[in-house]
A and B are shown apart, each in its own frame.
Chain A
Amino acid sequence: MGFLDGLMTVFQIHNLVLLILGVVLGIIVGAIPGLTATLAISLLLPFTFSLEASTALIMLIGIYVGGIYGGSITAILLRTPGTPAAAATSLDGYPLMQKGQGGRALGIATSASFIGGQISCIFLIFLSPLISNFAIKFSSAEYFALAIFGLTIIFSVSGKYLLKGVIAGLIGLVINTVGFDVIVAYPRFTFGVRSLMIGFPLLPAIIGLFALSELLRLFKAGVDDDDAIHDNVGRILPRWPDLRQLKWVLLKSSLIGTFIGALPGAGANIASFVAYSECKRTSKTPELFGKGIIEGVAASESANNAVTGGALIPMLTLGVPGDAVTAVLLGALTIQGLQPGPLLFRNNPGIINSIFVSTIVGNIVMLLTGLFLAKAIAKIAIMKKTTLIPIIAIFSMIGAYAAESSLAHMKIAVIFGIAGYILEQMDFPLAPIALSIVLGSLAENSFRAALIRSGGDWRIFFHSAISVVFLAIAAASVFFALRNQYKASKESQGGASL
């Protein structure tokens, strides 16, 4: 019965209009590089103060669902992930675009996002209590193991330059140590320069690494060469054989996304990379990843949208947000005078049901607008380089600036852009840098917290089954990556001698 009530609430005309508006706004903001779903919700939060609680939440959920998806559009078309969560999408999405299969990639991304979102909704509705009980088993040692597991993905996203990938990953980890150390609240490696105190925040770093470095590359390639690449977005509506081929990838990545979303402290950024790597790890053709394979796009996109439902689970059941966006949503609930947590289910079942229904309907709206609107947004990409380059430049710089209205963030983006360009020219893969910036602080802080907890006893990392499992998978994947590399180099040597 409660569910029907939720349905009635969401389908009230003003709620439905606001939900659609939220999804579309979310997609647009998400597609603009640098403007994340978190930012979209933070910016629109003040407007919802005056709305009724359920209406406000319906609209915010719409923005959330749209915002996480929107990032994939520019990730595929411009190699400029609209949100950090879509960074993994660009690894294969952009190569597909270059092959003239941009529309196919967009269609896959859109339907993968939809499927990921809906699968996580099912979990949200039926398994909330179960997952939230599992999530609170995570403490510092388990988070450290999760982060290490995530970092081993470096071995699989590095392509043929394994050593360079590892070096790039280490660069990312070192970059992470600059700035304010949260554990003892003291600046590190700032050399007395105040603007270094903020460290190198993720958003401008990623914009620089992926968007600005691409800009420099386009610049160097010259404006004369053919624009054929960008003229060919093609049909966006996904074809049935593609989807059928992807069904297991979609299911697995959605489960990974839901699970990681439900963990407090790990969000869409991490989920998409973990799912991407897991998909590559188990693929029969891992060598095709990074060169434009639809599995890569599907894994990343279904995982990051599955985070939406997953992250709502601990927020609603425990009052503990699953990622940055739900942390802001938690604030929104509080502003509306609602106390998230176990009591919400008892005291405000109406709100809970409208959240459930609006997540489902929001995903449907996202699918439809995505398939329809992606082409409109895609038009931006189908431009001459002389038009495209300044637009990427403007969007990137505004994206870096907008979050904090900060010039320092713009400078960071520029520095990372130049560094990213140089590194890429030297065959260093950029994905490991982004990955270790995403995971580095989680790894370091949870490592230190765990050792503080145990009084310096390292055995704490082997106390729980969860951390042992993660560490074992991490070790195994490093072993297999090295073995494959060894085999490959032996074969190529053998081939050369023949």
Chain B
Amino acid sequence: MRKELIKILSASMILLLCIALAGCGQSPASSQGTASEATEAVNPGGSATEPEPAPSLDYPKGSITAICPWTAGGSSDITFRSYLSYLSKEIGTDINVLNVTGGDGSIGINQALGMPADGYTMAMLNYDILSNEIKGITEDSYKDFAIINLFTLQGVNLVVNADSGWETFEDFRQAALAAKAAGKTLQIGVNGFWLHAAGMMADAAGIKDCVVFVPSNGSSELMTELLGKHCDAVTTSLTVALPHLESGAMKILGTMAEERMPEFPDIPTFKEMGYPNVIIAGFRILAVHKDTPPEIVDFLRQAGKKAFDNPEFQKWAGDAKADPIYMDAEETVKYLENLAPVVKQTMVNLGLI
């Protein structure tokens, strides 16, 4: 009997360990929480200009859950966790990231909206919040959220092999037209919302029927497709392509960002090249349920700005090429309002809706 007991005990120890592991993984900020509270006490309020939240605000009392609609370890997840670790220092409580994946992000968003609007559940909104609603996959919209702020905005780039012989986008466009005349097509590797970017670009440049958009399973697979010359070009973010750009294996023909990238000041934007509508970027937005009490939303917005301005976050985001860009709630909503019809039109053009 005693032997059995020891076995049960050892089994439950392992079980406990596994639960502890699972728990720890979700709280990257936990170790920093208490330390920052201590510094907060020594040096109350980072800057004097910002109004302090009303002393009556009884928030946050416990830890906060932040829903990431993408898998753990991906670039969105990593960036989100990093930003939240600095936000957690500002508000002096733990923020536990919960990865709720599936349905192109719609499952996680839906779960976030199902939680009480008390400021203890946050969510990350991405491009798919627009496309999923337009497609009718979900009724959830960015309008169901109170935006805290936008913290990264990554322009999409058209990337080709360095030995493709194309120096400019015009070369690429001519090659596409020539391929069409020869009864062929150029192949552009895409995945996820980068399909929209490629479609928007091809449409504006009048080469829509000269190219084929080849789907792939992920951005890293896109790189192999291009390196193996299975595709003529890919649309992708800087993060994935950077090592190949630096090694000289690939080059960018144009960026769909609003302005030229600081890392590559010589790469023209599509806007400059005469395609003013080809502006598309992947964004990451922190938001809470729209019915969250306004004083909590205000408190989080101030903390969100401070976290973004934290030089440590800026250094991290710079090193990781995560394109840190800040937009406050008002700017973000305006940005989304302008983007929604563009997304819809792109999807109509691509025949997706």
**Cβ of A136 and Cβ of B107 under 8 Å apart?**
no
A-binding segment of B21-29, B163-171, B274-282, B287-295: B21-29
B-binding segment of A111-119, A380-388, A485-493: A380-388
B-binding segment of A11-19, A281-289, A320-328, A418-426: A320-328
CB distance from A339 to the nearest CB of B (A): 4
Q: A384-B4, A455-B185 are in contact. Are A402 and B102 (CB under 8 A)?
A: no
In the complex, A49 has a CB within 8 A of chain B: yes
**Cβ of B243 and Cβ of A319 under 8 Å apart?**
yes
**Cβ of B242 and Cβ of A339 under 8 Å apart?**
yes
In the complex, A184 has a CB within 8 A of chain B: yes
Q: Which residues of B contact A38 (CB under 8 A)?
A: 73
CB distance from A465 to the nearest CB of B (A): 14
In the complex, B38 has a CB within 8 A of chain A: no
In the complex, A41 has a CB within 8 A of chain B: yes
CB distance from A186 to the nearest CB of B (A): 7
A82 to B70, CA, bound (A): 24
**Cβ of A49 and Cβ of B137 under 8 Å apart?**
no
B-side interface mostly: helix
In the complex, A437 has a CB within 8 A of chain B: no
**Cβ of A264 and Cβ of B224 under 8 Å apart?**
yes
B-binding segment of A27-35, A148-156, A240-248, A360-368: A27-35
Q: Which residues of B contact A413 (CB under 8 A)?
A: none
A449 to B352, CA, bound (A): 16
In the complex, B332 has a CB within 8 A of chain A: no
Q: Which residues of B contact A449 (CB under 8 A)?
A: 214-216
Output the residue of A45, A184, A334, A398 with the most chain B CB within 10 A. Answer: A334
Q: Which residues of B contact A445 (CB under 8 A)?
A: 215, 217
Q: Which residues of B contact A129 (CB under 8 A)?
A: none
Q: Which residues of A contact B8 (CB under 8 A)?
A: 383, 387, 391
Q: Which residues of B contact A138 (CB under 8 A)?
A: 224, 228
C-beta contact mask, A105-146 vs B, less than 8 Å → 1, else 0?
Answer: 000000000000000000000000000000111111000000
Contact of B247 (CB < 8 Å), options: A343, A398, A453: A343
C-beta contact mask, B285-329 vs A, less than 8 Å → 1, else 0?
Answer: 000000000000000000000000000000000011000000000
Contact of A265 (CB < 8 Å), options: B75, B81, B217, B243: B217
In the complex, B104 has a CB within 8 A of chain A: yes
Q: Which residues of A contact B214 (CB under 8 A)?
A: 140, 449, 452-453
Q: Which residues of A contact B10 (CB under 8 A)?
A: 376, 379-380
Q: Which residues of B contact A218 (CB under 8 A)?
A: none
A279 to B230, CA, bound (A): 33
**Cβ of A44 and Cβ of B25 under 8 Å apart?**
yes
Interface size on A, residues (CB 8 A): 75
**Cβ of B73 and Cβ of A331 under 8 Å apart?**
yes
Q: A197-B103, A339-B246 are in contact. Are A28 and B14 (CB under 8 A)?
A: yes
Contact of B107 (CB < 8 Å), options: A137, A194, A314, A318: A194
Q: Which residues of A contact B72 (CB under 8 A)?
A: 39, 42-43, 45, 328
Contact of A319 (CB < 8 Å), options: B17, B78, B223: B223
Q: Which residues of A contact B73 (CB under 8 A)?
A: 38, 41-42, 45, 327-328, 331
* Chain B residue with the shortest CB-CB distance to A380: B11
CB distance from A63 to the nearest CB of B (A): 11
A-binding segment of B50-58, B93-101, B260-268: B93-101
8 smallest beta-carbon distances between A and B, as pairs? A43-B25, A341-B243, A136-B228, A198-B102, A46-B28, A139-B230, A328-B73, A197-B103
Where the two chains meet, the residues of B that have a C-beta atom closer than 8 Å to any C-beta of A are 4, 7-8, 10-11, 14-15, 17-19, 21-22, 24-26, 28, 72-75, 78, 81, 98-104, 106-107, 110, 131, 135, 137, 185, 187, 192, 212-218, 220-221, 223-225, 227-228, 230, 239, 242-244, 246-247, 249, 319-320, 352
Q: 12 A-B pairs, CB-CB below 8 angstroms?
A: A137-B228, A198-B101, A198-B107, A319-B223, A327-B218, A328-B72, A331-B75, A335-B320, A339-B242, A343-B246, A406-B100, A452-B214
